[in-house]
C-alpha cells in the first residue's frame, strides 16, 4: 500500500515538474509579448512560437489535477475548495488565454487584436502568480480542521510570504519564457529586446528567490531536510549559471540550466513536503498526507499501470511535436492559421 | 444566499454552456477527418483543391468551437473539488480514476495533435496530416467515453463497496462496462454527429444561397451533410430508444418521471401532454395514447411500468423517509422537447438531402433561407437531454449513495458562490458573442470556387 502511495507522490511530483517546466515558458512568453514589441506582426511572431504546443502543455496541469483526484481525493477536495476564489480567478484567466490564442487573428481591426493580446497577458501572469501563492500556502500551512475542511477565507491565503512566492513564480517564468524565445526567434531586434527583458526578470527573480528562501526558513520546516535544502540551493546555482550564460550568449545552455532550476525547485518543494501534501497550521496531525488522503490500494494499482503505460507514450508524441516545429519562427510561418 | 442552491445553479449553467461545444467537437472532428480523407484519397483532380479548402473551412469553425469547449471543460474538472468537495471525498476513489484516465488518454492526444494539425499543413505529408485529424477525433471520443463512465456511475453505481465512510472501487472492469455507459456514450456520439450535421447544413445552405461563386461546391456539401445528419439523427433515436428500455430496470424513477406516470400501469399509456400537479402526486389533466408507453419499452402493447408513487415508496423503505421524486414537470417536458427537436431535424435532413441530390434545391428557395432558424434545435435537444439525465437523478448526486445536499463544500459562503456564478455567466456570455461574431463573419467571407479548368464532368 505504502509503495503505491509513494509511486503516486512521485508521479504527482513528475506531473507538476512537467507542468511548471512547460507552462512556465508558455506563461513567460505570454507575459513578455506586449513588452517586446508594440507591432502586431511582432507579437504574432512571438505568440506563434508557442502556438502549436501551448494547448498540449496546459494538459500537464489538467492531468496533475486529475491525478490528485484519482490518487489523493482528499487533497483534491480540500485544496480546490480552500483556494475557491483564487481558482476562480485562475480559471477566468485561463479561459481568456485559451480563447484569445484562437480569436486574436480572426479580425484585422487593431483594437480587436489589442484586446486579445491583453487577455493573453492577463491569462499568463495571473495563473503564474496564483500558483506561486498556492504552493507557498501549501508549505506554510493553512487552517485545516481535523475533518480536512479549510477554516479560513480568501484573504487568509494572502500574506507577505505567499505574495512573494507569487512574485518569484512570475519573474522566474518570465525569464524562462525569454530563454525559450531565444531558441525560437530569428529577428535580431526582437532577440535583443527579449534578452534585455529576460535579464531584468532573471536578476529580479534571483533577488526575490533569496528573500523567498529566507522567509521559507522562517515560515516552514522544508529547509530542515537536507535533501530539500540541497535542491533549493542547487536551484540557485542552476539559475545563476543560466542567467550568467543568458547575459553573455543566450542559447540552449541557458535554457537547459533554467529548466533544471525550475525542476529542482519543484522537486525540492515536494521533497520538503513529504509525506505531506497540505500542511495544517492548526495541528500537525491534521495535515493531509499520502496515507490519510489517498485512494485505496486497488484504485492506485490500476492507475499505476495506466500511468506507467500512458505517460511514456504521451512523452513520445509531445517530443515529436517539438521536433516537427524545431525550426525558428519567421514571418513566413505566421500567415498560416 | 444559499451556497448549495447557488452551487447547483453554477454547475448547471457552466455544464450546459460547456455542452454547447462538446457535441459540436465530437461531430465536427469526425466530419473534418472524413473531408480530409476525401481530400487525400480523391482521384478527381478538380476536386482536390475545393476539398482542401472545405477542410480548412470546417476546420476553422471546429477550432473556434474547440477552444471554447476546452476552456469551459477545465472549469468542470475544477468544479468537483471547488464546490463539491464532500462529493469528491466520498467518490474520489472511483470518480477520480476515469477523470485522470481522460486526461492521460484523451486530453493529451487531442490537444497535442490539434497543435500539429493547425500548424503542420506544410510540415507533414498529406497522409500524416490526415492521420492527425483522425487522432483528434479519437481523442475527443475517448474523452467523452471516460467522462460518461464517471457520469454513468452517478446514475447507476456499479463495481463499488461502501467502507471507511466512502465508496471504494472494487471492480474497475464493472465500472467501465457499466451498461449505462453504452447508452450514454452512443447517445452522446450520435447527438454530436447530429449537432455538427445541422451546423454543416446551415453553413452550406447559407453559402449556397448567398455566395454564387461557392454554390457548386456547397451543393455537394449539402448532399453529403444531409447524409451525415441523417446517420446522426437515426443513431440518436436508436440509442435513445435502447437506453430508455434499459432505464426501466436501471432507473425506474427517472423513467416514470419522464412520462409523468404516477401509478403503476399495465399496459402503460403514453401522455402526449399533461398538466402536472407534483404536490398532489397526480396529473390534473392529460391526453393519453393507450398502451403506447408499454409498446415503446417492451416492444409489445403490454407490460407493467412502475409509477412514481410506487418507486418513491420503495425508495423510502430502502433509504428512510423522504421525498425521492425529481422535478416531474421539468423531466416530462424536457423529454418532449428533446424528441420533438429530433423529429424536426430528421425531416430537415431528408428534405435537404433529397432536394439536393435531385438538383431541385432552387425550386424551393425558402427551405434554404429558413434553414438558419433550425440551428438552435440540436442545442435545445442536447440541453433538454442533459436535464433529463441530471435532473432525473435528484435528490441524489449518486443514486442511492449520496444526496446532492450532502456533497457541497462546507467552507463555502453564499456570497463567494454568487460572485463566481455571476462572473462565469458574464464571461461566458461575452465569449459566445465574440465566437459567434467571428464564426459568422468567417462563413460569410470565405468563398470556395469549384475548379473549372479540368472540366466539371471529368
State pLDDT tens for residues A60-100.
999 999 999 999 999 999 999 999 999 999 999 999 999 99
Whether the predicted pLDDT of A336 surpasses 60: no
pLDDT score for A98:
93
Mean pLDDT of B248-260: 89
Read off the pLDDT of each residue in A155-170 and give the average, rounded to a whole number: 94
pLDDT at B453 over 60: no
Q: Mapping DSSP to helix (H, G, I), strand (E, B) and coil, where does residue B421 land?
A: helix
Average pLDDT over residues A220-241: 93
- Residue ranges covered by each domain of chain A: 4-218+275-336
CB atoms A84 and B410 under 8 Å: no
Residue B121, burial from CB neighbour count under 10 angstroms (0-12, 13-18, 19+): middle
Q: Which residues contact B282 (CB under 8 A, 6 or more apart)?
A: B262
| Identity of the highest mean pLDDT range in A105-109, A173-177, B447-451 | A173-177
B365 or A119, which is more confident: A119
- The C-alpha atoms of residue B39 and residue B50 are separated, in whole angstroms, by 9
Q: Which residues in chain A are contacts of B80 at CB distance < 8 A?
A: 69, 76, 80
**Res. B458: pLDDT tops 70:** no
Cα A296 to Cα A80, A291, B80, B151: the distances in Å are 21, 10, 19, 20
The answer, yes or no, to whether residue B402 has pLDDT greater than 80, is yes
- Please state the rounded mean pLDDT for residues B334-353: 94
DSSP string, B40-74: HH---HHHHHHHHHHHHHHHHHHHHHHHHHHHHHH
Q: Which three cell numbers stand for residue A265?
A: 525547485
- Cβ-based neighbour number of residue B426 at 10 Å: 11
Distance CA B6, CA B233 (A): 35
Specify the range with the lowest mean pLDDT, choosing from A294-308, B194-208, B285-299: B285-299
The model's pLDDT over B133-153, given as tens digits with 9 standing for 90+, comes to 999 999 999 999 999 999 999
Cα separation, A174 vs A172, in Å, equals: 5
Separation between Cα atoms, residue A251 and residue B33, nearest integer Å: 39
- Mean pLDDT over A123-144 rounds to 94
**Contact across the interface for B74 and A95, Cβ inside 8 Å:** yes
Residue B5's pLDDT is what? 92
Q: What is the mean pLDDT of chain B?
A: 90
pLDDT in the model for residue A226: 94
Owner of C-alpha cell 512523452: A315
Instruction: Check pLDDT > 70 for residue A9.
Output: yes
Name the helix (H) or strand (E) containing B392: none
Pick the residue from chain B with its C-alpha nearest to A115.
Answer: B434
- How much is the pLDDT for A337? 46
Mean pLDDT of A318-325: 91
Using 50, 70 and 90 to split pLDDT, how confident is the model at B361?
Answer: confident
C-alpha cell at B413: 459562503
Residues of chain B in contact with residue A296, where contact means CB-CB under 8 angstroms, are 93, 168-169
The per-residue pLDDT for range B70-114, each reduced to its tens digit, is 999 999 999 999 999 999 999 999 998 999 999 999 999 999 999
B326 within 8 A of B392, measured Cβ to Cβ: yes
Does residue B39 have a pLDDT over 60? yes
Average pLDDT, chain A: 92
From chain B, the residues in CB contact with A55 under 8 A are 70, 111-112, 114-115
Is 70 exceeded by the pLDDT of residue A187? yes
**What is the structure's pLDDT at B79?**
92
CB contact under 8 A, B442 and A78: no
Place of cell 452522446: B188
Task: Provide the sign of the torsion angle of the four alpha carbons B437, B438, B442, B445, taken in this order.
Answer: positive
Residue A334 confidence (pLDDT)? 75
- B74 and A62: CB-CB below 8 Å? yes
Which of A80, A101, A302 is nearest residue B82 as measured by Cβ atoms? A80
Closest of A152, A317, A32 to residue B107, by C-alpha: A317
Return the H-helix or E-strand segment holding A293.
none
C-alpha grid cell, residue A101: 490564442
Output the CA angle A138-A141-A147, nearest 5 degrees: 95
pLDDT above 80: residue B451: no
Chain A residues with beta carbon closer than 8 angstroms to that of B167: none
Beta-carbon contacts below 8 Å between A and B: 224
Residue A21 grid cell: 517546466
B442 and A150: CB-CB below 8 Å?
no
Q: Looking at the predicted structure, is the pLDDT value of residue B383 above 90? A: yes
Angle at B59 between CA B112 and CA B204, to 5 degrees: 160
**Residue B303, pLDDT above cutoff 90:** no
The mean-pLDDT minimum among A80-94, B241-255, B357-371 falls in: B357-371
Longest Cα separation, chain A: 60
Question: Binning pLDDT at 50, 70 and 90, where does residue B455 land?
Answer: very low
One DSSP character per residue, B92-110 reads: HHHHHHHHHHIIIIIIHHH
Nearest CA in chain A to B433: A103
pLDDT for the residue numbered B457: 40
Distance, in Å, from the CA atom of A122 to the CA atom of A30, rounded to the nearest integer, reads: 8
Residues A82, B411: C-beta atoms closer than 8 Å: yes
Question: Measured between CB atoms, which of B64, B91, B411 is closest to A81?
Answer: B411
Which residues in chain B are closer than 8 Å to A65, comparing Cβ atoms?
77-78, 81, 103
Instruction: Using the predicted structure, report yes or no on whether residue B456 has a pLDDT greater than 50.
Output: no
Q: Are strands B282-289 and B270-277 parallel, antiparallel or unpaired?
A: antiparallel
Reference A69, options A314, A312, A294, A308; nearest CA is: A294
Residue B380 has pLDDT above 90, yes or no: yes
Cβ–Cβ below 8 Å for B104 and A318:
no
Question: Which of B55, B68, B119, B410 would you mutate first to test chain A, the one with the most A CBs within 10 A?
Answer: B119
Mutate to test the interface with B, among A7, A50, A65, A143 (most CBs of B within 10 A): A65
Give the nearest chain B residue to A94 (CA atoms): B71
Q: Do B100 and A69 touch (CB under 8 A)?
A: yes
Q: Could you say which of B71, B123, B172 has the minimum Cβ distance to residue A95?
A: B71
What's the confidence (pLDDT) of residue A335?
61
Q: Is the pLDDT of residue B360 over 70?
A: yes
Indicate the length of chain B as a whole number: 458
Q: pLDDT at residue A308 above 60?
A: yes
pLDDT the model gives residue B286? 85
Inter-chain residue contact A154 with B438, CB threshold 8 Å: no
Q: How far is A276 from chain B (nearest CA, A)?
A: 17
Beta bridge partners of B161: B168
Determine whether the interchain pair A53/B115 forms a contact, defined as Cβ–Cβ distance below 8 Å.
yes
Q: How many CB atoms lie within 10 A of CB B318?
A: 9
Q: How far is A129 from chain B (nearest CA, A)?
A: 18
Range picked from A325-334, B150-159, B281-290 for highest mean pLDDT: B150-159
Percent of chain A at pLDDT exceeding 90 = 77
What is the chain B residue with the closest CA to A76?
Answer: B81
pLDDT band at residue B65, thresholds of 50, 70 and 90? very high
> Do residues A78 and A288 lie in contact, with contact meaning Cβ atoms separated by under 8 Å?
yes
* Residue-level pLDDT at A332: 77
| B72, B104, B170 ranked by CB distance to A307: nearest | B104
B112 and A336: CB-CB below 8 Å?
no
The reply to whether residue B123 touches residue A53, judged by beta carbons under 8 angstroms, is: no
In chain B, which residues have their Cβ closer than 8 Å to the Cβ of A295? 92-93, 96-97
For residue B117, the chain A residue with the least C-alpha distance is A52
Output the pLDDT for position B440. Answer: 92
Per-residue pLDDT at A117 exceeds 60 = yes
Would you place residue A1 in the very low, low, confident or very high pLDDT band (cuts 50, 70, 90)?
low
Q: Give the CB-side neighbour count of residue B450, counting CA atoms within 13 A.
A: 18
Average pLDDT of the segment spanning A3-19: 93
CA angle B405, B406, B412 (to 5 degrees): 85
- Distance CA(B191)–CA(B351), nearest Å, equals 19
What is the predicted ipTM? 0.89
Q: Which residues contact A232 (CB under 8 A, 6 or more apart)?
A: A213, A216, A222, A223, A264, A265, A268, A272
Residue B448's pLDDT band, with cuts at 50, 70 and 90, is confident
Between CA A117 and CA A106 the distance in angstroms is 13
The 10s digit of each residue's pLDDT in B219-233 is: 889 999 999 999 999
* Residue of B56, B103, B115 with shortest CB distance to A63: B103
Amino acid at each position: 500500500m505504502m509503495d503505491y502511495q509513494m509511486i503516486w507522490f512521485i508521479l504527482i511530483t513528475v506531473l507538476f515538474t512537467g507542468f511548471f517546466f512547460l507552462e512556465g515558458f508558455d506563461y513567460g512568453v505570454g507575459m513578455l509579448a506586449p513588452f517586446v514589441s508594440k507591432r502586431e506582426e511582432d507579437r504574432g511572431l512571438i505568440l506563434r512560437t508557442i502556438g502549436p504546443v501551448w494547448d498540449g502543455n496546459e494538459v500537464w496541469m489538467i492531468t496533475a489535477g486529475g491525478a490528485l483526484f484519482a490518487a489523493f481525493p482528499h487533497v483534491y477536495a480540500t485544496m480546490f475548495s480552500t483556494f475557491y476564489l483564487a481558482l476562480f480567478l485562475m480559471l477566468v484567466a485561463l479561459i481568456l488565454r485559451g480563447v484569445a490564442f484562437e480569436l486574436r487573428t480572426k479580425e484585422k481591426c487593431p483594437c480587436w487584436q489589442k484586446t486579445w493580446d491583453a487577455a493573453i497577458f492577463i491569462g499568463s501572469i495571473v495563473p503564474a502568480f496564483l500558483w506561486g501563492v498556492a504552493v507557498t500556502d501549501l508549505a506554510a500551512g493553512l487552517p485545516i480542521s481535523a475533518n480536512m475542511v479549510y477554516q479560513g477565507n480568501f484573504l487568509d491565503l494572502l500574506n507577505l510570504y505567499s505574495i512573494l512566492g507569487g512574485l518569484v513564480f512570475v519573474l522566474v517564468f518570465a525569464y524562462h519564457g525569454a530563454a525559450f524565445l531565444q531558441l525560437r526567434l530569428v529577428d535580431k531586434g526582437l532577440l535583443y529586446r527579449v534578452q534585455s527583458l529576460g535579464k531584468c526578470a532573471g536578476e529580479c527573480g534571483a533577488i526575490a528567490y533569496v528573500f523567498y528562501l529566507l522567509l521559507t526558513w522562517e515560515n516552514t520546516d522544508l529547509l530542515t531536510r537536507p535533501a530539500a535544502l540541497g535542491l533549493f540551493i542547487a536551484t540557485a546555482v542552476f539559475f545563476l549559471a543560466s542567467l550568467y550564460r543568458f547575459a553573455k550568449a543566450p542559447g540552449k545552455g541557458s535554457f537547459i540550466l533554467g529548466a533544471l532550476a525550475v525542476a529542482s525547485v519543484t522537486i525540492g518543494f515536494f521533497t520538503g513536503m513529504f509525506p505531506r501534501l497540505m500542511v495544517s497550521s492548526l495541528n500537525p496531525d491534521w495535515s493531509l498526507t499520502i496515507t490519510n488522503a489517498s485512494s485505496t490500494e486497488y484504485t492506485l494499482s490500476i492507475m499505476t499501470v495506466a500511468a506507467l503505460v500512458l505517460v511514456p507514450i504521451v512523452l513520445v508524441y509531445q517530443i515529436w511535436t517539438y521536433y516537427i516545429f524545431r525550426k525558428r519562427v519567421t514571418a513566413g510561418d505566421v500567415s498560416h492559421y | 444566499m444559499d451556497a448549495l442552491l447557488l452551487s447547483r445553479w453554477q454547475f448547471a449553467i457552466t455544464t450546459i454552456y460547456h455542452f454547447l461545444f462538446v457535441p459540436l467537437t465530437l461531430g465536427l472532428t469526425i466530419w473534418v477527418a472524413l473531408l480530409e480523407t476525401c481530400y487525400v484519397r480523391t482521384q478527381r483532380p478538380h476536386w482536390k483543391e475545393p476539398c482542401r479548402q472545405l477542410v480548412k473551412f470546417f476546420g476553422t469553425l471546429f477550432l473556434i468551437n474547440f477552444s471554447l469547449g476546452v476552456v469551459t471543460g477545465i472549469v468542470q474538472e475544477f468544479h468537483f473539488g471547488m464546490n463539491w468537495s464532500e462529493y469528491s471525498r466520498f467518490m474520489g476513489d472511483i470518480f477520480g480514476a476515469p477523470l485522470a484516465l481522460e486526461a492521460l488518454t484523451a486530453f493529451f492526444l487531442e490537444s497535442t495533435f490539434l497543435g500539429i494539425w493547425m500548424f503542420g499543413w506544410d510540415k507533414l505529408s498529406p497522409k500524416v496530416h490526415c492521420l492527425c485529424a483522425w487522432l483528434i477525433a479519437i481523442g475527443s471520443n475517448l474523452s467523452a467515453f471516460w467522462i460518461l463512465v464517471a457520469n454513468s456511475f452517478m446514475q447507476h453505481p456499479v463495481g463499488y463497496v461502501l467502507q471507511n465512510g466512502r465508496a471504494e472501487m472494487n471492480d474497475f472492469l464493472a465500472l467501465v462496462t457499466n451498461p449505462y455507459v453504452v447508452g450514454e456514450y452512443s447517445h452522446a456520439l450520435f447527438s454530436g454527429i447530429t449537432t455538427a450535421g445541422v451546423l454543416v447544413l446551415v453553413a452550406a445552405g447559407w453559402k449556397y444561397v448567398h455566395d454564387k461563386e461557392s454554390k457548386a461546391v456547397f451543393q455537394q456539401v449539402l448532399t453529403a451533410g444531409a447524409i451525415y445528419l441523417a446517420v446522426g439523427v437515426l443513431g440518436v433515436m436508436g440509442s435513445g430508444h435502447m437506453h430508455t428500455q434499459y432505464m426501466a430496470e436501471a432507473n425506474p424513477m427517472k423513467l416514470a418521471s419522464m412520462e409523468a406516470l404516477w401509478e403503476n400501469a399495465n399496459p402503460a399509456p403514453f401522455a402526449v401532454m399533461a398538466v402536472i400537479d407534483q404536490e398532489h402526486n397526480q396529473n390534473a389533466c392529460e391526453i393519453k395514447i393507450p398502451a403506447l408507453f408499454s409498446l415503446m419499452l417492451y416492444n409489445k402493447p403490454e407490460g407493467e411500468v412502475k409509477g412514481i408513487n410506487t418507486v418513491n415508496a420503495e425508495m423510502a423503505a430502502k433509504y428512510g423517509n423522504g421525498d425521492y421524486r425529481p422535478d416531474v414537470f421539468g423531466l416530462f417536458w424536457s423529454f418532449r422537447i428533446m424528441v420533438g427537436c429530433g423529429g424536426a431535424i430528421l425531416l430537415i435532413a431528408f428534405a435537404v438531402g433529397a432536394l439536393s441530390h435531385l438538383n431541385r434545391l432552387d425550386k424551393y428557395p425558402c427551405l434554404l433561407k429558413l434553414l438558419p432558424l433550425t440551428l438552435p434545435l440540436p442545442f435545445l435537444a442536447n440541453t433538454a437531454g442533459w436535464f433529463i439525465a441530471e435532473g432525473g437523478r435528484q435528490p441524489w448526486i449518486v443514486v442511492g449513495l449520496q444526496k446532492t445536499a450532502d456533497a457541497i463544500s462546507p467552507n463555502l459562503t453564499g456570497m463567494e458562490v454568487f460572485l463566481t456564478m455571476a462572473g462565469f455567466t458574464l464571461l461566458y456570455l461575452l465569449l459566445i458573442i465574440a465566437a459567434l461574431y467571428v464564426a459568422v463573419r468567417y462563413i460569410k467571407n470565405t468563398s470556395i470556387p469549384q475548379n473549372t479548368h479540368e472540366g466539371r464532368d471529368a
